[in-house]
């Protein structure tokens, strides 16, 4: 392991935000399943919130998009990070997916059970992670296994891919850099605090990670490591029990805490730009169009000004997945509902399901979202109409979906052995 240079900055947050990849909700049936409500005039309106205005400070000048986006080796043929990019937008503008219907292209049965994390993909390599301390690399075209990489602890989060390297964290408080083509170790680094509770994010030549505190008193923290060497760039401790995943946009790293709160840090040195109160959250923030969107335990979406931290609006019930943003619309999971909001927070449509919706993904005018009731939905972004639905019999719950080109990739959790599927357009699509 390379010994990194340590740069520690205190973060004065009074509450803590978390970033586990999956949050469970109610499993009760709902007779209104798969019904779409599209009349915006009868839908809920956002709750303006001027409380908890953040302390304002000058932020860095925006960097280029290339500096703030995790980069896959496949160009357009990639989904290189949790929720697609470093800002966690959950939207792939270069993909269509099997929007009009699907056929199963391949199914891979793996040796070990999978985590509930979203697969990631670059070029021809698909990465999935396992509770059993394994990072799998599969051929994205055929599903054939390319290599396995053994970690010291269980891996419950998505890997990130940039410039031919895969980055993944485990419950043993380690960050691994692995060659994408061979599965060989490039470097490893020890993390502050306990096991990582989120997926790593790659931006600005750095890998950003949030951790949780340990039972023996090690502090939770947000950390940045050099993507090439593993040297530690900075560490910003979190005073409570854990940090969520990080979203990076325009030179700023946004992070929440499991106890409630949201902070913006300078991505270069970890210093605090602003902080604000927020309800408890489990999922990483999403950043788009100058706004930070978070799912909390009391709202499907809360929106904050990215420059100042000022609370803008909130809508919906308890969030059960990270929001996705595409074309000025926000798509959010809230238990049995998947809702679409405009930039001002007005609900445009809402569709129901049997089971709890998970983190949605957007591509080609379609929202793809699974539930904890063994069901996968494809829903039109325009009006919430159901394009297709797939119900599984013997499998468990689908992970969040990865959409690249005309294909959708996802795994199943809760099986004795892991299973990954690839769907392509149906013959009649």
Is residue 318 a part of any domain in this protein?
Answer: yes
Is residue 100 in some structural domain? Answer: yes
pLDDT at 190: 93
Instruction: Report the pLDDT value the prediction gives residue 29, as an integer from 0 to 100.
Output: 34
226 phi and psi angles, rounded to 5 deg: -65, 125
Query: Cα–chain-centroid distance for residue 82?
Result: 4
Residue-wise burial string across 120-159, b where 16 or more C-beta atoms lie within 10 A, e elsewhere: bbbbbbbbbbbbbbbbbbbebeebeebbebebeebbbbbb
pLDDT of residue 225: 98
What backbone phi and psi angles, to 5 degrees, belong to 41?
Answer: -70, -20
Which residues is 386 bridged to in the sheet? 379
Integer Cα distance of 229 and 390 in angstroms: 44
The dihedral of CA 43, 44, 48, 52: what is its sign?
A: negative
Q: Which residue has the tokens 């960097």?
A: 63
CA 388 from chain centre, in angstroms, equals 24
Q: What's the pTM value of the predicted model, to 2 decimals? A: 0.85
Rounded to an integer, what distance in angstroms lies between the CA atom of residue 283 and that of residue 198? 8
DSSP conformational letter for 81: S
Are 411 and 159 in contact by the 8 Å Cβ rule? The answer is: no
pLDDT under 50: residue ranges of the chain: 1-43, 51-53, 55-69, 71-75
pLDDT of residue 428: 63
Measured CA to CA, the distance from residue 82 to residue 203 in angstroms comes to 13
Residue 252 located in a structural domain: yes
pLDDT at 62: 35
Three-state DSSP state, 67: helix
What pLDDT is recorded for position 281? 87
According to the model, what pLDDT value does residue 51 have?
A: 44
Residue 92's Cβ-count burial label (10 Å; 0-12, 13-18, 19+) is: buried
How many domains does the chain divide into? 1
Half-sphere exposure of 399 (CA within 13 A, CB side): 35
pLDDT at 257: 84
Angle formed at CA 66 by CA 60 and CA 72, multiple of 5 degrees: 135
> What Rg do the C-alpha atoms of the chain give, in angstroms?
20
The encoded tokens of residue 13 equal 């947050």
| Cα 55 → chain centroid | 27
Residue 114 domain flag: yes
DSSP sequence for 187-251: EEEEPSSSSB-S--EEETTEEEEEBB--TT-PPEEEEEEETTT--EEEEEEESSSBB---EEETT
Task: Judge whether 357 lies within some domain.
Answer: yes
Residue 167: inside a domain, yes or no? yes
Q: For residue 403, give its domain range.
A: 36-425
Distance CA 278, CA 17 (A): 9
CATH number at residue 392: 2.130.10.10
Q: Contact, 368 vs 100, CB < 8 A?
A: no
Asked if the structure places residue 20 within a domain, the reply is no
Task: Give the integer Cα–Cα distance in Å for 331 and 400.
Answer: 14
Task: Tally the residues of the chain.
Answer: 429
Which are the contacts of 154, defined by CB distance < 8 A and separation ≥ 6? Answer: 115, 130, 131, 132, 133, 170, 171
List Cβ neighbours of 31 (8 Å cut-off, separation of 6 or more): none
Residue 405 in tokens? 């080109």
Instruction: Please check whether residue 6 lies inside any domain of the structure.
Output: no
């Amino acid at each position: 392991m390379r010994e990194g240079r340590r740069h520690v900055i205190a973060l004065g947050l009074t509450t803590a935000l978390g970033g586990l990849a999956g949050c469970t909700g109610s499993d009760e049936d709902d007779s209104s399943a798969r019904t779409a409500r599209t009349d915006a005039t009868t839908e809920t309106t956002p709750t303006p919130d001027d409380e908890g205005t953040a302390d304002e400070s000058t932020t860095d000048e925006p960097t280029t998009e290339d500096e703030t986006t995790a980069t896959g080796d496949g160009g357009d043929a990639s989904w290189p990070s949790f929720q697609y990019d470093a800002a966690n937008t959950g939207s792939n503008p270069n993909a269509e997916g099997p929007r009009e219907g699907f056929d199963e292209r391949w199914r891979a049965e793996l040796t070990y059970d999978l985590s509930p994390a979203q697969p990631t993909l670059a070029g021809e390599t698909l990465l999935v992670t396992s509770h059993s301390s394994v990072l799998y690399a599969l051929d994205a075209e055929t599903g054939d296994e390319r290599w396995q990489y053994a970690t010291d602890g269980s891996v419950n989060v998505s890997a990130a891919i940039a410039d031919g390297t895969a980055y993944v964290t485990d419950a043993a408080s380690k960050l691994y850099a692995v060659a994408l083509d061979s599965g060989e170790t490039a470097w490893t680094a020890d993390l502050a605090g306990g096991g990582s509770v989120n997926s790593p994010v790659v931006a600005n030549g750095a890998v950003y990670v949030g951790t949780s505190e340990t039972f023996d008193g090690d502090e939770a923290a947000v950390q940045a490591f050099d993507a090439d060497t593993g040297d530690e760039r900075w560490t910003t401790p979190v005073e409570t029990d854990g940090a969520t995943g990080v979203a990076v946009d325009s030179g700023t790293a946004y992070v929440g805490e499991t106890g409630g709160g949201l902070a913006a840090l300078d991505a270069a040195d970890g210093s605090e730009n602003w902080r604000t109160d927020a309800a408890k959250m489990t999922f990483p923030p999403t950043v788009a169009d100058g706004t930070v969107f978070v799912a909390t335990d009391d709202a499907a979406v809360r929106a904050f000004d990215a420059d100042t931290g000022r609370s803008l609006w909130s809508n919906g019930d308890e969030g059960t997945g990270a929001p996705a943003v595409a074309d000025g619309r926000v798509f959010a999971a809230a238990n049995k509902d998947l809702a679409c909001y405009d930039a001002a927070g007005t609900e445009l449509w809402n569709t129901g399901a049997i089971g709890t919706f998970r983190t949605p993904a957007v591509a080609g005018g379609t929202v793809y979202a699974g539930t904890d009731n063994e069901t996968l939905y494809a829903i039109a972004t325009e009006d919430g109409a159901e394009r297709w639905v797939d119900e599984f019999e013997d499998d468990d719950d689908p992970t969040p979906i990865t959409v690249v080109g005309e294909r959708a990739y996802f795994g199943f959790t809760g099986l004795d052995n892991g299973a990954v599927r690839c769907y392509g357009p149906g013959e009649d699509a």
